[in-house]
Amino acid sequence: MTRPRSRAGGAAPVEFGWWEVFAPSLHGRAHLWNANQWAEQIEWMASRGARVLFLYLHWYSTGYRSSLDWLDQPDYSLNVVAENAILRRLLRHARGRRIRVYLVNQVYVYDAESWKGPTALEEFPDAAHYWPRRLVLAEAANSSVRNRIAKMFVEQAELFP
C-alpha cells in the first residue's frame, strides 16, 4: 500500500494521536491523573511519533475549574482541585514535544443539578449509560443556551491559550 500523495506531489503527511475524556465520566479516567502521569503519557506519545491529542474538557461534567456557576465543578477531578494547574502543565509539555492539543466540548448535554436554567431543556435519553446522574439536553435554538456556549469557549480560550 502506498501513502496518499499531497497536492504538491510528495507523500501526504500522516498524523496520529490520541483522545481522552479529561472530564469525569463513566468512560474516562484521565481526570484522576496527576501532572506526572500526564507527563509520562505525553512522553510515551511523543516517542511513538504522535502529534495530536484531543481532550474532552466538558463531557457531561467539567474537567476544568470554571468561573461559570452552571458548569459542574466536581471535586473528585484532580485538575479542578488543582485550579487547572494539571491541564496547563500538560499543555506546556505537549507543546514542547510538538504535540498539538485540541480541547473538545460536548456543548448541548449538561448535568441537570448544575445547569440552573434556561428552561428549554429535555431529559437526555439513556443517560445512565454515560453518567450516573440525570442529564439534560439544552435547546440549540435557545439564544440563552448559545450565549452560555459562547461564554464557555471564551473562558477556555482565556484560561488555556
Task: Give the amino acid at 67.
Answer: S
Task: State the pLDDT at residue 121.
Answer: 58
Kindly state whether residue 109 falls inside one of the protein's structural domains. yes
For 41, the domain range is: 17-159
**CATH number assigned to the domain comprising residue 141:** 3.20.20.80
> In this model, does residue 107 exceed pLDDT 90?
no
Residue 119 confidence class, pLDDT cut points 50, 70, 90: low
> In this model, does residue 6 exceed pLDDT 70?
no
More confident residue, 39 or 119: 39
Please tell me the pTM assigned to this model. Answer: 0.77
Residue 3 confidence class, pLDDT cut points 50, 70, 90: very low
Q: Using only the alpha carbons of the chain, give its radius of gyration.
A: 18
> What's 111-134 look like in SS3?
EHHHHCCCCCEEECCCHHHCCCCC
Could you report the per-residue pLDDT of 74-102, keeping only the tens digit for each? Answer: 788 888 899 999 999 999 999 999 999 99
DSSP code per residue over 58-116: ESSSBSS--S-TTS---TT-HHHHTTTHHHHHHHHHHHHTT-EEEEEE--SEEEHHHH-
Kindly state whether residue 78 falls inside one of the protein's structural domains. yes
Kindly state whether residue 86 falls inside one of the protein's structural domains. yes
What does pLDDT average to over the chain? 78
Kindly state whether residue 7 falls inside one of the protein's structural domains. no
Kindly state whether residue 154 falls inside one of the protein's structural domains. yes
Kindly state whether residue 65 falls inside one of the protein's structural domains. yes
Structural domain total, the chain: 1
Q: Regarding beta strands 52-58 and 121-123, do their DSSP bridges make them parallel or antiparallel, or are they unpaired?
A: unpaired
